[in-house]
Structure 1
Amino acid sequence: MARDPRRVRTLPGVTFAKFLGTGKGVTFGPGDADLTRFAAVIVSAAPVALPEWDHLSSTSAVVSLTPLHSVGTWSGRAPFTPNADKSDGMVLALTRARLHPLRALTFYNAVPPVVAELDRAPGLLARFGIGEAPIGWQGTVSVWRGAADLRDFAYRQPEHRAVIDRTPTDKWYAEDLFARFAVRDVTGDRAVLGWITEQKGRERR
C-alpha cells in the first residue's frame, strides 16, 4: 500500500492511481473499516497488472470502466475525463471527499439513514466504502443495474436528497468528487465487491 502507488504511477499510460482501504459502507466512520479487503483506482490507457497483489490475495475482482461524468477533484486533480455520453448497461458511481475535521461528526450522524435506504434501493448490485490515510479521506463505490436506478436513488430518495441539500450549508467537505462510469466488464470474484446475488436482484425488480 505504501510502495506500489509510486511504482504504478510510473508505468506507461498511467495518469492517476490511488491505493485504498475499504469499509462495509454502514457508518463510514473508522469502525467501518474492512481490514481484509483493499482497492486500487487506476486511470490508464491500457490494463495494468498487479502481480504482487495477486500473490498476496486469496480472491480478487477487476471492474473495467469508461467515464461518463465527473465533477470535483481528488488530491487537487480532475483524474477522470468523460469520453462517453451514456450507458445502456451497468453503471458505477464513485464519490470521494476529504472531510473538514470539525464537521466530520455531523457528517457521520447524517449517513446511517442514507445507508439504510441504499440497502433497499432497486437496481443496486454492489456497494462498499473506500478510504485513504488519514481518517476523514473517504468515499463510496456503488454499482447499479442501470443509470435510471442510480438517478432515482440519488435525486428522488428522500434521505439521500436531504444530505445533498445539506452539503452547501453544512460544508462537510474540504474537497470532493463525484464520478459516474459505464461498466465495460467485471472479471474475478464478484463477491469481493459485495455483489448482490442474482436471485436477490430479481426479487428487487
Structure 2
Amino acid sequence: MYCIITIARYKKSTAFFGFLSMAFFRIFLLKNKTIPFYKLMGCGKNGTFDIRPDVQQWAVLITTNELFTNYQSLYGRFIAAWWKRFHCELFTVVLQPTEGHGLWDGKMPFGNLPKQTSEDGITAVLTRATIRPSRLKAFWQNVSTAGAHLQEAEGFIMSVGIGEVPWIKQATFSIWQNKQLMKQYAYGTMQHATVIAKTRKEKWYSEELFVRFKVVQTTGTINGINPLKEYLS
C-alpha cells in the first residue's frame, strides 16, 4: 500500500479556488475505485498545528495499491486539469506506511501496522487528532509551545500542518533524516514532551492516529524548493 500526499499552493489571486476544490475534488475521488481512502484538507500557517489557516495552500491525501506516474493517472483528469488551470505549485510525497496505531474516522486507512519496526532512514510522520470541544481552549493554548522549536530540531527536513475541519480535526505531517532524531525531538524536547503528557492526562482527543512512513519518492516543489531533493537523489 502507498499513501500519497499532494500539497497544492495557489496564487493569492486564485486562493478562493483552492477552497472550492475541497468541494469539487470530493466528487471525483469518491468515484475513483483505485483510491480506497482519501482526505481533503486545509493547511496551517507555520508548518504545524496553527489556528491561522494558509488560504493559499491545500492538501490531498490518498491511499492506493498502485504507484502512478502522473497526476492525471493518480487523481483523475478533472483534478489534474484544475491544478493546471490555476497554475498551482504542487509538491507530492509518495509514502509506504511502516509503523503506527490509532484510527481515522473509525478506520485503519493504512492497515493494521506494527507499533515498532527496524525500519530506519528518511522517516515521515503523520500525527492526527480530533480534539474534544471541551478541550479546544487547552489545545490551542499549548500547541504553539509544543512546536516552537520544530524547525530548528536536529534531523528536521520539513513539515506541514493539515486539517479536515478548522480548529477541531488537525494533523501534522513531518519528515526527518532518521527515526532516532525524530524521537529525540518528540520525546527529548521538554516543551513537546510536556504537551504530549497533557494530552493523555487531560484527554484532549476523542480520536487520534500516529503513523510513520518510508519515503519512496517526491515530485514538484513547495515554496520554490523540493526539501527532500538532496536526501533522495
TM-score, structure 2 as length reference: 0.76
Gaps of 5+ in 2: 1-21, 69-73
2:25 aligns with 4
Q: Partner letter of residue 70 of structure 1?
A: G
Matched residue count: 198
**Would the alpha carbon gap of residues 39 and 26 (structure 1) be closer, same or farther in structure 2, given more than 3 Å must change?**
closer
2:9 aligns with none
Provide, for residues 171-205 of structure 1, a one-character-per-residue CA deviation record: whole Å limited to 9, x for no partner: 1111111111111111101437894997xx9xxxx
2:8 aligns with none
Q: Partner letter of residue 26 of structure 2?
A: P
1:94-109 pair list within 5 angstroms: 94-109=126-141
Conserved in 2, the CA contact under 8 Å of 1:90 and 1:145? yes
Q: Percent identity?
A: 31
1:41 aligns with 61
Give secondary structure in 1 for the equivalent of 2:40.
Answer: strand
Q: Cα offset for 1:12?
A: 2.6
Distance in 1 between residues matched to 2:215 and 2:228, nearest whole Å: 16
The two structures, once aligned, show a CA RMSD in angstroms of: 2.6
2:17 aligns with none
Conserved in 2, the CA contact under 8 Å of 1:127 and 1:193? no
1:61 aligns with 91
**Would the alpha carbon gap of residues 164 and 67 (structure 1) be closer, same or farther in structure 2, given more than 3 Å must change?**
same
Q: Cα offset for 1:25?
A: 3.6
2:6 aligns with none
Q: Partner letter of residue 39 of structure 1?
A: A
Provide, for residues 74-130 of structure 1, a one-character-per-residue CA deviation record: whole Å limited to 9, x for no partner: 111111124994444311111111111111111111112221121221011111211
Runs (4+) of structure 1 exceeding 6 A deviation are none
Q: Partner letter of residue 76 of structure 1?
A: G
Distance in 1 between residues matched to 2:166 and 2:160, nearest whole Å: 18
Distance in 2 between residues matched to 1:194 and 1:112, nearest whole Å: 26
**Would the alpha carbon gap of residues 149 and 56 (structure 1) be closer, same or farther in structure 2, given more than 3 Å must change?**
same
1:153 aligns with 185
Worse-superposed segment, 81-90 or 105-114: 81-90
Q: Partner letter of residue 41 of structure 2?
A: L
1:136 aligns with 168
Gaps of 5+ in 1: none
1:104-183 pair list within 5 angstroms: 104-183=136-215
Distance in 2 between residues matched to 1:192 and 1:70, nearest whole Å: 31
TM-score, structure 1 as length reference: 0.85
Distance in 1 between residues matched to 2:224 and 2:175, nearest whole Å: 13
Q: Partner letter of residue 123 of structure 2?
A: V
**Would the alpha carbon gap of residues 4 and 17 (structure 1) be closer, same or farther in structure 2, given more than 3 Å must change?**
same
**Would the alpha carbon gap of residues 161 and 61 (structure 1) be closer, same or farther in structure 2, given more than 3 Å must change?**
same
